[in-house]
Amino acid sequence: MFAAPLDIYIAIWLYTHMTTQYHTDWLSSAFQALSDPTRRAILARLAQGEATVSQLMAPFELSQPTISKHLKVLESAGLIEGGRDAQRRPRRLAPLAMKDVADWIEPFRQQWESRLNNLDAHLARMKQQKET
Amino acid sequence: MPSTPAAAQKTGLVIDRQSHTIRLMREFDAPHAEIFEAWTKPEHVACWWDAAGEPLAVCNIDLRPGGAFKFVTKGHPEMPFAGAYREITPPDRLVFDGLGAIGRVTLRETAGKTHMTVEIECRSAEQLDDYLRMGVDSGTAQTLDNLVAYAQRRLAAVP
């Protein structure tokens, strides 16, 4: 029914990139990269922390060449990047992608967080008034 | 403005672009009837609606289907939240039109605690984006760590 949060991030991120009218070529490659469910699942895994090809093989039950092929597509779309350890070649979600998305949605979320914190405090006052 | 640490955030937020709906979820330690009252009586709404914590400058409520409401904050009198009620079903459901979107408040009480869902259904994906942008009232700069923690928290919420 409701889209998984990662999908939301991806959708909003794509939207913000679209509205800034940057790299049209990049955008179509990003869309293509995201059209595959396995690649989306890989992104969801990487959003929890960086992982190497072998770490990705086990949960997805895919061969190393298949995983590598998917990673290459994601990498060229700018969605993921290489981690710090050059030997193990871990991949991680491109932090800039995360930042763009969170920057955009955070003020809205914070506004409601504050509003509902107010409601919470007000409900406590209502309860107190009823008790006295 | 200091940012709230991720652990202290109590409001869940899900955005479904396919149905252009924003869904907020929160638990309250109060019975649903109390929360329904807090949403529908001006003397209560005026106390909590403004995120800035100030009492509302204007809080008009005509609580009947088709009846109008208008909430005006002190800080942004030029941006009132106004609309009309669609459905009033105490103590667990309130539906209204506000700023061109449909708002649905659903309250589900279990053992004295209430799970509240606020859905904001926009007409289109474009309107949804506008709606989200309305929350932008300050150029809050966040550290990347906070942002990543936020994103991870959202992902951890996937069942």
DSSP chain B: -PPPPGGG---EEEEETTTTEEEEEEEESS-HHHHHHHHH-HHHHHHHS-TTSPPPSEEEE--STT-EEEEE-SS-TTS-EEEEEEEEETTTEEEEEETTEEEEEEEEEETTEEEEEEEEE-SSHHHHHHHHHTT--S-----HHHHHHHHHHHHHT--
Q: According to the model, what pLDDT value does residue A17 have?
A: 53
Nearest to B17 among A3, A104, A117 (CB): A3
- A8 vs B contacts (CB less than 8 Å): 14-17, 154
Please indicate if any CB of chain B lies within 8 Å of the CB of A129.
no
Residue ranges per domain, chain B? Answer: 8-124
Rg (CA), chain A: 20
Q: According to the model, what pLDDT value does residue B143 have?
A: 29
**What does each of the 159 residues of chain B score in pLDDT, given as a tens digit?**
334 444 467 888 877 767 888 888 999 999 999 999 999 999 999 999 988 888 999 999 999 999 999 999 888 888 889 999 999 999 999 999 988 899 999 999 999 899 999 999 999 877 877 777 665 433 222 323 333 444 445 455 554
Class for domain B8-124, per CATH?
alpha beta
> Shortest Cα distance from A25 to chain B (angstroms)?
23
Q: How confident is the model at residue A60 (pLDDT cuts 50, 70, 90)?
A: confident
> Shortest Cα distance from B143 to chain A (angstroms)?
9
> Shortest Cα distance from A73 to chain B (angstroms)?
22
B155/A8 touch (CB, cutoff 8 Å), yes or no:
no
Minimum mean pLDDT range among A25-34, A122-131, B74-83: A25-34
A119/B35 touch (CB, cutoff 8 Å), yes or no:
yes
Residue ranges per domain, chain A? Answer: 5-131
The residue ranking higher by pLDDT, B43 or A21, is B43
- A83 vs B contacts (CB less than 8 Å): none
Please indicate if any CB of chain B lies within 8 Å of the CB of A131.
no
- B118 vs A contacts (CB less than 8 Å): 112
Mean pLDDT of the region A105-121: 87
Class for domain A5-131, per CATH?
mainly alpha
Nearest to B16 among A3, A102, A127 (CB): A3
Q: Which of B30, B48, B50 is nearest to B40 (CA)?
A: B48
Please indicate if any CB of chain B lies within 8 Å of the CB of A63.
no
Q: How confident is the model at residue A9 (pLDDT cuts 50, 70, 90)?
A: low
A123/B35 touch (CB, cutoff 8 Å), yes or no:
yes
- B3 vs A contacts (CB less than 8 Å): 110
Nearest to B38 among A9, A12, A123 (CB): A123
Q: How confident is the model at residue A31 (pLDDT cuts 50, 70, 90)?
A: low
| CA distance linking residue B124 with residue B74, whole number of Å | 30
Q: According to the model, what pLDDT value does residue A2 have?
A: 36
Q: According to the model, what pLDDT value does residue B82 have?
A: 93
What does pTM read for this prediction?
Answer: 0.62
Q: What are the tens digits of pLDDT across the range A70-105? A: 999 888 877 788 866 767 788 988 766 655 555 667
Q: According to the model, what pLDDT value does residue A22 have?
A: 45
Name the average pLDDT for chain A: 74
Q: According to the model, what pLDDT value does residue B32 have?
A: 94
Place of tokens 């700069």: B141
Q: Write down the ipTM of this complex.
A: 0.78
Q: According to the model, what pLDDT value does residue B17 have?
A: 66
